[in-house]
Amino acid sequence: MGVRVKKDNLTKNITDQMKEAQLKLGYAEETTRLIFPLSSLNAILSVNARNAQEMKAILEEAYAVPAELGALSFTVRDERIEIGVPPEGARYVNEQVIAPEHLAALIALFRENHHCSLEQIKAVFDACGNDYVCERMPEGADFDYVFSFSDESVDRYYYCIKMEMGHTVYHRFSKEDFLSLQL
Q: Which of 86, 53, 80 is nearest to 67 (CA)?
A: 86
Q: Mean pLDDT in each 10-residue stretch from start to end of the chain (183 residues)?
A: 79 96 95 96 94 97 95 96 98 96 95 93 91 93 94 92 93 90 68
* The predicted structure's pLDDT at residue 3: 66
* The predicted structure's pLDDT at residue 116: 93
* The predicted structure's pLDDT at residue 183: 54
* The predicted structure's pLDDT at residue 179: 85
Three-state SS for the chain is CCCCCCHHHHHHHHHHHHHHHHHHHCCCCCCEEEEEEHHHHHHHHCCCCCCHHHHHHHHHHHCCCCECCECCEEEEECCEEEEEECHHHHHHHHHHCCCCHHHHHHHHHHHHCCCCCHHHHHHHHHHCCCCEEEEECCCCCCCCEEEEECCCCCCCCEEEEEEECCEEEEEEECHHHHHHHCC
pTM of the predicted structure, to 2 decimals: 0.91
Q: How many CA atoms lie within 13 A of 55 on its CB side?
A: 30
Domain spans of the chain?
A: 7-96, 101-181
